[in-house]
């Protein structure tokens, strides 16, 4: 009722808590405090879902995210990590070269195993998904409580060096 009254009579409007970087074709990006308040809960949702995850940090090569590796992942988070997700099992060996190729194909909407990428740096956390994400990805976003309609919208080009293409070039 309160929302209805505010819609008709105005009132304080809360600002979106995250930003969606949109573009015409290819993946979009959500900048948000994904691992800010409860990183273990977010990671648990990732591992409980239908996606397979691997991460890389400044001190660790590509590592599969599992219950066993969770503490290492949480320890690496503050300094920054790059995460990738697939709907199928990840290959045993994940490499920079393979991930860069997956990312480039993902950006061109080609058939690649990649369905999501998360870039975490000390000052920014960005989630990349296709505009029309798969059901497992959408279920994870729902589990995280991400209301896509509440995001402030900006042009994808404004990501600059934080864009997915730039991340692939740095691998």
> pLDDT per residue over 33-88, tens digit each?
999 888 999 999 999 999 999 999 999 999 999 999 999 999 999 999 999 999 98
Question: Which residue bears the tokens 């590796």?
Answer: 69
Q: How does residue 92 score in pLDDT terms, banded at 50, 70 and 90? A: confident
Q: What is the pLDDT of residue 91?
A: 87
pTM for the full predicted model: 0.88
Q: What is the pLDDT of residue 5?
A: 39
Q: Rounded to 5 degrees, what are φ and ψ at 19?
A: -120, 140
Q: pLDDT tens-digit profile of 49-60?
A: 999 999 999 999
Q: pLDDT tens-digit profile of 95-110?
A: 999 999 999 999 999 9
- Pull the structure tokens for residue 85: 């997700």
Domain residue spans in the chain? 15-170
Find residue 52's DSSP bridge partners.
86
Q: What is the mean pLDDT of residues 161-165?
A: 95
Q: How does residue 8 score in pLDDT terms, banded at 50, 70 and 90? A: very low
List for the chain the helix, strand, coil content (%; round to 5): 40, 25, 40
What is the distance between the alpha carbons of residues 44 and 13, in angstroms, rounded to a whole number?
32
Q: What is the pLDDT of residue 148?
A: 80
For the beta sheet containing 19-22, the strands, ordered from the edge strand earlier in sequence to the opposite edge, are: 63-64, 52-57, 81-86, 114-121, 124-129, 28-31, 19-22, 152-155
């Amino acid at each position: 009722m309160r929302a209805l009254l505010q819609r008709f009579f105005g009132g304080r409007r809360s600002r979106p808590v995250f930003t969606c970087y949109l573009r015409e074709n290819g993946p979009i990006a959500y900048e948000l405090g994904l691992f800010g308040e409860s990183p273990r809960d977010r990671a648990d949702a990732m591992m409980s879902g239908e996606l397979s995850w691997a991460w890389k940090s400044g001190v660790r090569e590509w590592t599969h995210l599992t219950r066993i590796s969770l503490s290492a992942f949480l320890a690496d988070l503050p300094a920054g990590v790059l995460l990738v997700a697939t709907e199928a099992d990840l290959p045993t060996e994940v490499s920079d070269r393979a991930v860069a190729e997956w990312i480039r194909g993902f950006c061109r909407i080609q058939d690649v195993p990649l369905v999501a990428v998360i870039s975490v740096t000390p000052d920014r956390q960005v989630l990349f998904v296709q505009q029309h994400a798969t059901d497992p990805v959408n279920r994870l976003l729902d589990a995280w409580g991400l209301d896509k309609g509440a995001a402030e919208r900006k042009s994808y080009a404004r990501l600059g060096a934080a864009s997915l293409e730039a991340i692939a070039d740095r691998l």
